[in-house]
Amino acid sequence: MSGFLIAVLSVGVILGFMILIHEFGHYATAKLLGVRVEVFSIGFGKRLFGFRRGDTDYRIAAIPLGGYVKMSGENPMDARTNDPGEFMSHPRWHRFIIAIAGPAMNILFAVGLLTFVYMVHYEYPAVFDEPAVVGYVVQDTPAAKAGVQVGDRIVRIDGIQNPTWEQEFLREALNPNQPLEVTIDRGGQILTKTIVPEAYGPNQMGSAGWEPKEPNFPITDLEAGMPAEKAGMKLGDEIVSVDGQPITGLAAMIESLKRTQSKPIEITVKRDGQLLNFTVQPVLSDSRGDQRYRVGIGSAPMKVSALPFAAAFRQSVKQNKQGSLLILELVQKMIQRKISIRSIEGPIGIGRAAGQAASKKGWTPLLELTAGISLNLGIFNLLPIPIMDGGVILLLFVESLIRRDISLRIKERIYQAAFVFLVLFAVMVIYNDVLKMLPSIMQRTP
């Protein structure tokens, strides 16, 4: 229950703050341009308390699921009075700046927050610095069926030359059940292969079935009460072999446990330069909604540093630019039906991620998640969907091209259709969130 409360509290605080920043962008720009703001509300529904200053009622409302700014005369269906303080009385370029200010605030906040985080704690998987050399190929996966072998170096994938493992992971994840052309270097011989990543996991993202070659295999996560911890293994132990066979990484160990199942195994580790042997009996347990034999270890070697301001800012811009392009690509592929809508996380998924980030050591994981949510909110609001900021911008652009206002009757029909679309979309996302939870819920039922 405490984990649930942490998740609810975390997502409530994060989303509330993100929406506050978004609406403040609209509010500040409107005030600067001389548009009268009637209401600045945190939450929807009945007004609970607040205060009035000038023309604006600053309030806290009963339903804490967002917020809004109400500007005088912003509804195009309202009668026009030509009051200079009304939104519709201002030139289109004023309305454009006000509309784009909310998403811009979210994007700028994401860049600023991530810059701050990187100045204090810049952490990323160590394998991202390694060349894209295959260290293990899982049996009966697309990579194995295509003939990929251990030691192959990926020199081109989906048009990207000499990809990093980070780029490779994103390409296969965003192309489930879609053919990917891959060029590999095998001892100087250049081979071209077509691989179709399989849709995998609750989010139905693509997986090719290969794993990076890792320089070592240290234990970075040790679950309390699981066989590895009970046997005396410790964080930092470097796994050398299982039952006398060398192990190249976590994927290889998972495959080994599939064969041995509950049979006791001997794990050899290196600790402070010495080799130690442990006899461990795997147990059948849940891992991310998947029942499999496990010993309770994780391995994700990370590199940690603190960047100076200029480097932190450049890295933040790079990460946010990459994130923005990935969001747009994800939307495009969903429209083309090349990727499942299950890849989108709704409020339940965001809450789960927020709870996990809040429970991790330190505060940087939660701040990184907050930056990611802020970026997503900003980009999503720029999509050309009527009612949302991007829709307002699109209509202003069309009106500028035709040099006249779109008729109120047409606008009304557009807004009605957009409202229905957004409601259906929200219902679908929440429904998918619930479906993702069901496997783990069912598996926990006696």
Catalytic positions: 23
Measured CA to CA in angstroms, residue 273 lies from 221, 240, 268 at distances of: 20, 12, 12
Measure CA 12 to chain center. 17
Within 13 Å, how many C-alpha atoms sit on residue 174's CB side?
Answer: 20
CA distance 258 to 343: 27
Q: In sequence order, what E strands does 102-179 have?
A: 122-125, 134-137, 153-157, 160-161
β-strand 189-195 against 210-212: which pairing, if any?
unpaired
Chain position carrying tokens 């997986």? 207
Within 13 Å, how many C-alpha atoms sit on residue 159's CB side?
Answer: 1
CA distance 23 to 421: 23
- The burial of 192, by beta-carbon neighbours within 10 Å (0-12 exposed, 13-18 middle, 19 or more buried), is given as exposed
**Residue 248 near residue 127 (C-beta atoms within 8 A):** no
**Residue 286 near residue 294 (C-beta atoms within 8 A):** no
Dihedral-angle region of residue 244 (phi above 0 means left; psi in -120 to 50 means alpha; beta otherwise): left
Task: List, as own/partner pairs, every contact residues 418-421 make where C-beta atoms lie below 8 angstroms and the sequence separation is at least 24, other chains included.
Answer: 418/385, 418/386, 418/387, 418/388, 418/391, 419/387, 421/385
CA distance 376 to 319: 13
Contacts of 332 (CB under 8 A, 6+ apart): none
